[in-house]
Every structure is written in C-alpha cells, then in structure tokens.
Amino acid sequence: MTFDPNCIFCLIVNGDAPAQKVHEDDDCLAFMDIMPQSDGHVLVIPKRHAAQIFDVTAEEAAKLIRVTHKVAAAVRTAMQPDGVMLAQLNGADAGQTVFHLHFHIVPRYAGKKLALHASEMADADTLKTHCEKIRAAL
C-alpha cells in the first residue's frame, strides 16, 4: 500500500492519527470530518495514497463510489437531512486542501447554511455521537 508520511489521511489509515471511523474495509476508510460543513459530514478515502481521482484506476474509483454510496445512505438514515451533497475536489484551485483523494458526504438541512470548508474544528464528543449514529445505520 502506498503511504505518504506527510499526509494526514495516510496517518489516519496507518493508525498514527486519530479519527472517528464510520466504515473500514481492505481498500477504503470512511471517517468523520473534523472540520465539518454540517452535522454528519463524512469523508471516504482510499487507503492507498493517491492525491487525486486521476491517480487511481477505474476499478479503485468504482470501489470508492460504492463505499461512498453505502455510507451516504447510512448518513441519510442516521442524520435525517433534507438532502445530501457529495463532493470530490481535485487540486488546490478546485478547493482541495488535503492532497489525498477523498469524497465528502455532506448532509444538507433546510434553512441552515454550510460552514466554510476546513474552517472550524468540531467538538470531539459531537463527532463521536454522530459517528456512532451513522455506524448503527450501516
């Protein structure tokens, strides 16, 4: 498995940085975004380091979207949002701030604005509660 010791997501995969894990299998990891744009914001990543969507095979991308689909359904069940936004950014000019491929699953709630991307740390207990709720919906 490719690993970048300077990548926070690689450190999470390796167990060297903490994360509230929602789902894990041999190839993918889903965990709570520590700077969520809304309650229940989850990230889905490949375990192997790849900076952008262009750095994985079509088969790896397909696996990621299957996991994203599964976790998004659990987010919708657990968090009961009015909508769910999926986002995947490639490159700094597209808004990517962590250069490890990831999909955002962002619940949207009517009348509630999104927080700015990567702007404010969430309360650890709140993240844990949301994580447990989403995991139970898987």
Question: Which one from 23, 49, 100, 102 is the annotated catalytic residue?
Answer: 102
Minimal CA–CA distance to 103: which of 134, 137, 63, 130?
63
Q: How far apart are CA 79 and CA 57, in angstroms?
A: 32
Q: How far apart are CA 82 and CA 107, in angstroms?
A: 8
Q: Are 29 and 44 in contact (CB under 8 A)?
A: yes
Angle between helices 58-79 and 124-137 in degrees, nearest 10: 100
100 as an active site residue: the answer is no
Give the other-Cβ count within 10 Å of 71's Cβ: 24
Q: Which residues are known to be catalytic? A: 102
